[in-house]
Each structure stands twice: as C-alpha cells, then as structure tokens.
Amino acid sequence: MSFRDIVESGKFVVTGEIGPPKGTDIKEVLHHIELLKGKIDVANVTDNQAAVMRISSLAGCQLCLQNGLEPVLQMTCRDRNRIGLQADLLGASVLGIKTVLCLTGDHVNAGDHKQAKSVYDVESVQLLKIVNGMNNGFDMSGNELQGATDFYPGAVVTPESVPLEPQLVKFEKKVEAGAKFFQTQAIYNMDKFKDFMKYARQFPVKILAGIVVLKSAGMANFMNKNVPGIMVPQDLIDEMKAAGKEKALDTGLNIAARHIRQLKEEKICDGVHIMAIGMEDKVPEIMERAGLL
C-alpha cells in the first residue's frame, strides 16, 4: 500500500528519517533501513540535510526501495534550479518513488560548503505547484509530458514559529498549492500543538507531528536557544534534569513515547514523524513504548 493510501485510510501513521551518508560506504544506512523496515510506514530521505553534502536524496530513496522500505523523497530548492528539480522528479517517478516532500532548504550558511552559490530559483510553495503540474502531465513551462507523474505531495510547517502568523500564511499557501500532508518541526508542548491543530483542522490535509527524542537537558536548552521554531517547555527540561545522566536517554525515549501515545489516543493529529538524528536504532523502542508495535 502506498503512503497516500495508508495516510488517507485514517490509520495513525509513523514516518521516520533516513539520512544518506557522506561517502560511498552504505553499510550503516542499509542497517538503518533494515531496522525501520516493517515498523514505520515510510522514511523521509533527507536532501543534503543542513546543507551538508551527502549522497543525494534520490539515490537514498532508491536504496530504500531496493531494500523494502517505502521512501519519501525530500526535495529542497537550495541546490537545483527548476530544470534540475523537474528532471529529478521525473527520474524519481520512473524509479517508483511515490511521495515527495517539498522544502525550501536550509541556507548553505548552515552546512559544510559555505561558499556555495544558493539556487532558490523556486521555493517550497512553487515546488508544490510544480509537482501538481507534473501530476497533471505538464512541466512548469506548460509543455506536455510523455507520461505524467503521480506523486503524493507533502510539505512542512513549524507550529511554534515565532512570530506564528506569517508562518500560517505560508502554511495556507502550501495547502492551496496542493500539499496533501504536512510534517511539523519538532513539537514538545501538547497544549500549544492542540491549539495549532484546532486551526489546521480547517484544511483538508493530514498532519504528522514532529518528534525529536531529547537526549539530555542540555540538548533541550541548546535547541531552545539555537533551533528556530523549537521550544522545549521547562517542565520537560526539569524532568530530563531529574533523571540524571544515566537515565537521561531513557527518560527522553519515555517522553517521546508518551507524546506519541497522547497524540494517537486523543486523535490530536494524523500521525507522527520521528526524526531520530543518529538514533535510528531507538525508533522501534519508542514505537513499542508508545504502544504502536
């Protein structure tokens, strides 16, 4: 069953993340694929995440397909112009990739090639329109394609962006441009997220809440200070602190599982997107503790 069918069926979906390696040694990424296969519904394959050069998202998706894990092609607009993006979309389609997540992409300033020329010929909203155009059989210039694509297009939203209003204007534009599902930036405050969902439920789109496991109180403080749109509330930081060094990770896993369980049981949203960031081996455990396996 494709991701579109799973998510549209109303099942509480779990998406994960595969980060392609920097280099040709794919042992670790194949191990991650093996770990996640059969557990999560689909894996996003990141696209030069944080502007750090790695194996391309497209090739990473192919590795997932070859090894039995359904991929979501993450596409950023930082590294390719409209010609490159459309060419890769056609390529992805013939390789059997069915889901595309349209992103603007972190600035090159964040990555390991800071002197690179950023592209941003188009951006996330426009990329969604491109995908929908190609699904209807036309490229961006209106030329008819010899065979249309059939992608399920998604996008991202940051429910705790500060200020929030401009972010919501963009969210609504993404809906209008054809996004069918959204994965959010990591969320930690359930009450605030419920408020966001009350708003988001006006729109005919599926929302998957972003989950990032806390490894320590220090990590929470670091993210609060440095990652735009992430706000770990003080009570969770205190909970992590109280756990002490040895139990910190275990507590972080429990918090993630608790949040997932609540999101599912209270039907707050349509699923979760677990960003393991180097802890892929812990994803099945989080799912078990959340009662999903």
Partner 1 sequence: MIVGEQKPFDEIWDMIKDYKKVLVFGCNTCVAICHAGGGKEAEILASLLKMKATQEGAAIEISHSAIERHCEPEFFQPSMEDVRKYDLVLSTACGVGVNLLSEIIGEIPVFPAINTEFFGAVPRAGEFEEHCAGCGNCILHLTGGICPIARCSKSLLNGPCGGTNNGSCEISPDIKCAWVQIYDRLKALNRLDVMKQINEAKDWSTSQGPRNIKVKLMEENTK
Query: Which CB, 160 or 239, lies closer to partner 1?
Result: 160
Dihedral of alpha carbons 96, 212, 263, 106, sign? negative
Shortest distance, CB of residue 189 to partner 1, whole angstroms? 17
Minimum CB distance to partner 1, residue 158 (Å): 5
**Burial (Cβ within 10 Å: 0-12, 13-18, ≥19) of residue 154:** buried
Closest CB 123 distance from partner 1, rounded Å: 5
Closest approach, Cβ 122 to partner 1, in A, equals 5
Determine what percent of the chain falls in helix, strand and coil, rounding each to the nearest 5: 45, 15, 40
* Contact criterion met (CB below 8 Å) for 63 and 30: yes
Residue 248 near residue 187, CB atoms below 8 Å: no
For partner 1, the closer of residues 125 and 269 by Cβ is 125
Nearest residue (CB) to partner 1, 98 versus 129? 129
Spatial separation of the C-alpha atoms in residues 79 and 293, rounded to whole Å:
38
CB of 168 to partner 1, least distance (A): 9
Strands 13-18 and 99-103, how do they pair?
Answer: unpaired
Cβ distance to partner 1 smaller for residue 44 or 124: 124
Q: In this complex, which beta carbon is closest to partner 1, that of residue 23 or of residue 166?
A: 166
User: Which residues of the chain form contacts with partner 1 (CB under 8 A)?
Assistant: 78, 82, 104-107, 109-110, 118, 120-126, 129-130, 140, 156, 158, 161-163, 165-167, 169-170, 172-173, 176-177, 185, 228-229
